[in-house]
Structure formats: structure tokens, C-alpha cells
Amino acid sequence: MLLKVIIVLLFIGVLISLSSALVFLMKDIGNARKRVLYALGVRVALAIALVGAIAWGIYSGQLGSQAPWDKKLHPERVLPLTPKE
């Protein structure tokens, strides 16, 4: 559960960094300030951390796929159907 919270917080951080870079881009037209580059650098670092957290979750088994098409790849994970009485 903690891993999912971390992933959501990292994703929100990426969105905030991306939107702040857009605001800096619109505000600093003709200005030599490098706030846009710093904001995009933070976004890249957060995105790398996000991918790392997702990879760790898949590797450790805390994250998994429950997609219907994944049942064909892993039939041992499918629960058997019980007959109705």
C-alpha cells in the first residue's frame, strides 16, 4: 500500500513540475533565467524515480496485472470457477 502512495505522489510531482515549467515558459519570455530548465530537470528526475518505483513494485510482487488478456499468459493465477448449486 505504501508503494502505491509513493507512486501516486511521484506522478503528482511530475505533473506539478511540468505545469510549473509551462508557467515559467510563459512568464519568462525574453528573460535569460533558467527556471524552465530546472523545472524540466526536476520532472526528469521524478519520472526516473517513478519508473524505478514501478519496476521495484513489479519485481517485488507488490504490483501486478489483473488484465483479462494476462490470464492466458499466467493460467496458474486464475481462480477456478465453482459450480453453482
Q: What's the pLDDT tens digit per position in 49-73?
A: 999 999 999 999 898 877 776 666 6
What's CA 6's distance to the chain center, in Å?
A: 9
For residue 7, give every residue at least 6 positions away whose Cβ sits within 8 Å of its Cβ, in sequence order, or none.
50, 53, 54, 57
Q: Is residue 85 part of a domain?
A: no
| Reported pTM | 0.73
Confidence at 31, pLDDT banded by 50, 70, 90: confident
In a domain, 73, yes or no: yes
Asked whether residue 82 is assigned to any structural domain, the reply reads no
Q: For residue 83, is it within any domain?
A: no
Digit-coded pLDDT (tens) for 1-19: 899 999 999 999 999 999 9
